[in-house]
Amino acid sequence: MRVLGIETSCDETGIAIYDDEKGLLANQLYSQVKLHADYGGVVPELASRDHVRKTVPLIQAALKEAGLTAKDIDGVAYTAGPGLVGALLVGATIGRSLAFAWDVPAVPVHHMEGHLLAPMLEDNPPEFPFVALLVSGGHTQLISVTGIGQYELLGESIDDAAGEAFDKTAKLLGLDYPGGPLLSKMAAQGTPGAVYLPTSDDRSSWHGFQFLWPENLRRKHHS
């Protein structure tokens, strides 16, 4: 079975073709980093419009890379959320339209489940059960996985996600967009323990990740 995958949840247009026997046949990716750089962050409307321009050409490029035609595709999967509403709508519309035209199933995929199960495609995939830490731009979650579709949320960010903390700190320091990689390089050159970050030893009282409270601390040390 060969599946065409469409990812348009934020500022990257990703197209892939995966074969359940041969593995990854094609992978096309376009980043909008330069488009949003002048604004210091992702502008949803601009992201959506760029997905409109790039998605179909990248699908054509992926088919060419894999040496396939539309007749060789057995299904179309697309990111259904979470993500930017307009950007998601582009991928969903194109994905469902192609599936209808090609008379194959259209499969909506949960964004975070895609992250969660991506390691299953590796040569040495993890064995069930396992615990996964998902850290993305807008989510930080700890999940118990006993099988595909069998998940238990153990905890998540109760304010900002880790990615948002990176973005806010980078903006506070006046770093260029995207600031996350630059901030990581700066942190690697820092002095461990220079700033005290209070933590709790009482595991029974843990309710989730918190990244918002250190914001005042970051501002204090930056001022």
The one-letter code for the residue type at 52 is V
Do 146 and 70 share a structural domain? no
CATH code: domain of residue 82: 3.30.420.40
Which pLDDT score is estimated for 134?
A: 93
Same domain for 90 and 169, yes or no, is: no
Cα–Cα distance, 21 to 5 (Å, whole number): 16
Domain identity same for 142 and 63:
no
Strand partners, 27: 16
18 and 105 housed in the same domain: yes
Q: Containing domain of residue 139, as a range?
A: 124-156
Shared domain for 9 and 104, answered yes or no, is yes
Structure tokens at 64: 């060419």
pLDDT score recorded for residue 204: 63
CA distance 82 to 92: 12
Do 180 and 197 share a structural domain? yes
Question: By three-state DSSP, how is residue 103 classified?
Answer: coil
**Do 21 and 45 share a domain, yes or no?**
yes
Query: What's the pLDDT score for residue 168?
Result: 84
Q: Count CA within 13 A, CB hemisphere, residue 105.
A: 9
Cβ(125)–Cβ(119) under 8 Å? yes
Q: pTM for the full model?
A: 0.87
Note the pLDDT of residue 11.
96
- β-pairing verdict for 106-110 and 75-81: parallel
- Whether residues 106 and 130 share a domain: the answer is no
Strand partners, 152: 144
Task: Please state, in angstroms and rounded to a whole number, the distance separating the CA atoms of residues 147 and 127.
Answer: 9
- pLDDT tens over the chain, length 223 residues: 999 999 999 999 999 999 999 999 999 999 999 999 999 889 999 999 999 999 999 999 999 999 999 999 999 999 999 999 999 999 999 999 999 999 999 999 999 999 999 999 888 999 999 999 999 878 899 999 999 999 999 999 888 888 888 888 888 888 998 888 999 999 899 888 887 776 666 666 667 888 876 555 655 655 5
Whether residue 106 sits in one domain with residue 145: no
Rounded Cα–Cα distance for residues 167 and 174 (Å): 11
What pLDDT was estimated at residue 222?
Answer: 57
Specify whether 172 is located in the same domain as 140: no
Same domain? 107 vs 64: yes
Domain count, the chain: 3
Residues 3 and 22: their CA atoms lie apart, in Å, by 12
User: How many whole angstroms from its chain centre is CA 221?
Assistant: 31
75, 129: one domain: no
Q: Looking at residue 214, what is its pLDDT? A: 57
